[in-house]
Chains A and B, each alone.
Chain A
Amino acid sequence: MTLEEGICLYAQKTPDKTAVICYEDKISYSDLWNMIIERAGLMNQDGLRKGMPYVFRASQDIDFIINYCAIHYLGAIAVPLEHQALQENFISIQKEVGGCDIPADIQDILYTTGTTGKSKGVMLSRTAIESCADNFICDMHYTDELLYIISGPLNHIASLFKIHPVLIAGGTVCILDGLKDINAFFDVFRLPYNRVATFMVPASLRLLMEFSYDKLCAVADRIDFIETGAAPITGKDMERLAKALPHSRLYNTLGGTEIGAVCTYDFNDGKYMEGCIGRPMKNSIVEVTPDGSIIVSGPTVMSGYVNDPESTAQVLQDGRITTSDLGYVDENGMIHLKGRRGDVINVGGFKVDPLEVENAAIGHESVKECICIAAEHPVIGPVLKLLVVLEDGFVLDKRSLAIYLKSKLEPHKIPTYYEAVDKLQRTYNGKLDRKYYRIK
């Protein structure tokens, strides 16, 4: 069943039930369905037709879901970008998706750094999206009683692909604009729902435990499950969360834009196995090769990258995706992650290609050369740090450099820390020695 078919079904079965809540706003299944039809009509009048890509900024509200479903209703392709996407990126993506052949069954194109580190449009078919939703419904038992809090950006698969299973199961989605207002998260528990669930990256879970542990414990009985993923969670954080929520299911999931959600482990088992992602979900096949590469196949995987057959061929062969993750299978058949290949830095679940940051920074008048590395933040975990060799006559002006980068890059790609250095470590053949700078 598709998301739109699910909404249509519950618009008839339980028309007055609340489908989506966003702060003070809420909408019933019936009203949501009517607004989707109305919006689709307007988009059609504006020239949107079956098979055409529609690029839009993902607002963090009910209107996003109306737009997203209306695009699908017309048989067009949704291309949601970050709500703060720079105009030049928006235009360039519009040109890219508008000027190439896209397979007939594609429903979504999600732009991501993901597996390769370079920003790419991941093409996802209707089958991939439906199979991913089915994985969640079957393996995590989504039901119509569920209130699912989505606080991450809606253009990101980890948030966007939760809307599908929740509404297909007849539950209620609650959208929050990030977690910086942690009180808004706890305000949700004033609503009359006894089965609440959410997805949070490990950095957000750390934030929640660091600054509101007591509040979390107070609502423990109403938290059905919490899912995490997109970045490693420590065994210590797993244990601390399990102590706060002793009766909740706590999942660590392997997922990605190219592969969907494919493997999950309920770590509220007293073992708190760091790096463990459990077993493959219903529609997914996950293999670990003798050299430790994790390979994913099954209907949830992407169809390819937009307009980029070379990059597609690098990761997708015969329906099997070779991820950058490395791992092993233990004696009980549980899969464990033990690192990643490549230079991509994972900042709170966002994958950042350091080269993109360096290329932007080098345009600043004071920067002679630089390297973007991972550094440890005391609460959030890994963040970006820029080591800069300055041009003669300049001193490091962090603010000027950060503001410059803010005009060139999305917010999650702007380094938190800056340091002037005399020289950068290089390998014997003159390349930046990224391994030297890795967090030990």
Chain B
Amino acid sequence: MKNRIIELLSEALPAVDFESEFLFSELDSLGIATILLLLSNEYHISLNASDVTPKNFMTIDSVVAMVESKLNK
């Protein structure tokens, strides 16, 4: 799943370093909106503003963990 998410997000946001340890600070509101849309569509999960926390977007691993947690609900 991690590789697929990196592939998907890198395609849409090529200037962002998804391997960064400080992913949240790399993103702007456009980036956040794009990620929410792409992940909602790809995994058929519901993501909203409450999910946009620095913790959930700290690294690509935390983004993956957020998706996994939504899928397990």
Task: Give me the interface of A with B, judged by CB distance under 8 Å.
Answer: 178-183, 186, 203-204, 207-208, 210-212, 215, 348, 377-380, 383, 398-399, 401-403, 405-406, 411, 414, 416, 418
Contact B48–A181 (Cβ < 8 Å): no
Contact A411–B28 (Cβ < 8 Å): yes
Residues of B within 8 A of A379 (CB): 33-34, 37
Question: How distant is A406 from chain B, measured CB to nearest CB, in Å?
Answer: 5
Q: How far is the CA of A411 from the CA of B28 in the complex (A)?
A: 9
Partner of A207, one of B14, B29, B47: B29
Contact A416–B30 (Cβ < 8 Å): yes
Task: Give me the interface of B with A, judged by CB distance under 8 Å.
Answer: 10-15, 24, 27-34, 36-37, 47-50, 52-54
Q: List 18 A-B pairs, Cβ < 8 Å.
A: A180-B32, A180-B52, A183-B50, A183-B52, A183-B53, A203-B30, A211-B48, A215-B49, A377-B30, A377-B34, A378-B37, A379-B34, A383-B30, A398-B14, A401-B14, A405-B15, A416-B34, A418-B14
Q: How far is the CA of A399 from the CA of B11 in the complex (A)?
A: 8
Q: How far is the CA of A180 from the CA of B34 in the complex (A)?
A: 11
Residues of A within 8 A of B10 (CB): 399
Question: How distant is A186 from chain B, measured CB to nearest CB, in Å?
Answer: 7
Identify the interface centre among B14, B37, B48, B54: most chain A CB within 10 Å of its CB. B14
Contact B15–A414 (Cβ < 8 Å): yes
Identify the interface centre among A179, A180, A208: most chain B CB within 10 Å of its CB. A180
Contact A186–B13 (Cβ < 8 Å): no
User: Provided the pairs A178-B28, A399-B10 are in contact, do residues A212 and B34 lie with their beta carbons within 8 angstroms?
Assistant: no
Question: Which residue of B has the minimal Cβ distance to A381?
Answer: B30
User: Provided the pairs A378-B37, A403-B15, A416-B13 are in contact, do residues A212 and B29 lie with their beta carbons within 8 angstroms?
Assistant: no
Q: How far is the CA of A306 from the CA of B43 in the complex (A)?
A: 52
Contact A380–B30 (Cβ < 8 Å): yes
Residues of A within 8 A of B31 (CB): 180
Contact A186–B30 (Cβ < 8 Å): no
